Amino acid sequence: MADGLSRLVSATKYTGPEPVLGITAPNIRKELQHWACREQWRQWRDATTFCLAKQLLRQVDLSFTKYAVRLSRADLRILTGLLTGHADLNWHLTLMQIRTDAACPLCQEDEETVLHLLGECSTLSAKRLSILGYPYLSYEELGRMHWCALLRFAKASQ
Ligand SMILES: [Zn+2]
C-alpha cells in the first residue's frame, strides 16, 4: 500500500511554484525560530546600551522566558524592574527626580540599586542566605540564578 502510494506520488507531475524544495513547513518554521533567536541574541550582545540588564541577562534560556510569561502582571512588573534597573528603588526614583535621596532605606550604607537590594544590602543578608543560599552575591552570581529565586527574594524584601 505504502509503496503504491509512494510510486503514485513520485509519478504525479508537480503543480506549484518552481523550483521544488524538499523542505517541510515545520522545518521552515523551526529554522526561522532558531534564526530569530540567534539574531536577537546577536543584537543583544552587540548593543552598547542596557548595561545593567546585560549583567543579569547573560544567556538565552527558554525556560526563563516561559517562567516570565506565566507570571501575574504585578510579578512580571517587579521582575522586569529587577532585570532592567527600572524598579521602585531609590536610585532609579532619584534618577527620575521623584526622590532626592538614593540611599538604601534599610541600611543607609549605599545607594538603593538592584545590585544593592539583591546582592549587597547588609540588612537583607540573613534573608538572602535563607532564600538564595548566600549572604552576599555579585552581579555575575545573580545572573546565574533563576528569575524565580530573584523574584521570591525581592518580594520577601519589600
Ligand atoms: Zn541596604
Residue 46 lies in a domain: no
Q: Please count the structural domains in the chain.
A: 1
Say what the pTM is: 0.74
| Model pLDDT for residues 91-145, shown as the tens digit of each residue | 999 999 999 999 999 999 999 999 999 999 999 999 999 999 999 999 889 988 9
Ligand 1 centre to CA of 9 (Å) is 71
The answer to whether the beta carbons of residues 54 and 43 sit under 8 Å apart is: no
Ligand 1 centre to CA of 68 (Å) is 27
* Per-residue pLDDT at 14 exceeds 90: no
Ligand 1 centre to CA of 117 (Å) is 6
Residue 148 lies in a domain: yes
Q: What is the domain range of residue 91?
A: 51-156
Ligand 1 centre to CA of 146 (Å) is 22
The x, y and z cell numbers of residue 31, run together, are 529554522
Count of CB atoms within 10 A of residue 38's CB? Answer: 11
Provide the mean pLDDT of the chain: 90
Residue 23 lies in a domain: no
- Which pLDDT band holds residue 6 (cuts at 50, 70, 90)? confident
Ligand 1 centre to CA of 125 (Å) is 10
Ligand 1 centre to CA of 32 (Å) is 45
Say how far apart CA 150 and CA 128 lie, in whole Å: 10
Strands (E), 11-116: none
Residue 33 lies in a domain: no
Ligand 1 centre to CA of 84 (Å) is 19
